């Protein structure tokens, strides 16, 4: 089970990442926002596989809230339902999409 502390630790190990509040929640930025605690136990990340993730496990991966409907790369992830390793992979992808160092952008 991943935790909010895991989110912070994994994000802050990436080059050039800063942490600052977004919507009064902890958030991490590369060139743009790539991770934010949405509510306790839920993190918002960017992904190119939102539909596939939700198709495999809608209890873990979702976005069907008004704020995210028009953001096709955003997925909400219930931390208690994924491993720290899976979270790390998703954070890496989100960081790359957000223009993190070495992303090729």
Asked if residue 63 belongs to a domain, the reply is yes
Alpha carbons within 13 angstroms on the beta-carbon side of residue 43 total 30
76 domain-assigned:
no
pLDDT for 72 equals 84
Q: Would residue 105 count as lying in a domain?
A: no
pLDDT digits (tens, 9 = 90+) for 8-67: 999 999 999 999 999 999 999 999 999 999 999 999 999 999 999 989 999 999 988 777
The burial class, CB within 10 Å (0-12 / 13-18 / 19+), for 27 is buried
Is the pLDDT at 103 greater than 80, yes or no?
no
Q: Which domain holds residue 54?
A: 4-70+84-97
pLDDT for the residue numbered 6: 98
| φ and ψ at residue 75, rounded to 5 degrees | -135, 145
Is 90 contained in some domain? yes
Q: How many domains does the chain have?
A: 1
Is residue 103 one of the residues assigned to a domain?
Answer: no
């Amino acid at each position: 089970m991943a935790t909010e502390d895991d989110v912070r630790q994994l994000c802050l190990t990436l080059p050039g990442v800063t942490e600052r509040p977004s919507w009064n929640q902890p958030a991490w930025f590369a060139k743009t926002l790539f991770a934010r605690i949405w509510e306790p136990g839920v993190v918002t990340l960017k992904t190119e596989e939102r539909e596939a993730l939700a198709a495999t496990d809608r209890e873990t991966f979702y976005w069907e809230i008004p704020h995210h409907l028009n953001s096709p790369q955003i997925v909400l992830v219930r931390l208690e339902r994924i491993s720290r390793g899976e979270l790390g992979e998703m954070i890496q992808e989100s960081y790359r999409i957000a223009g993190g160092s070495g992303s090729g952008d």
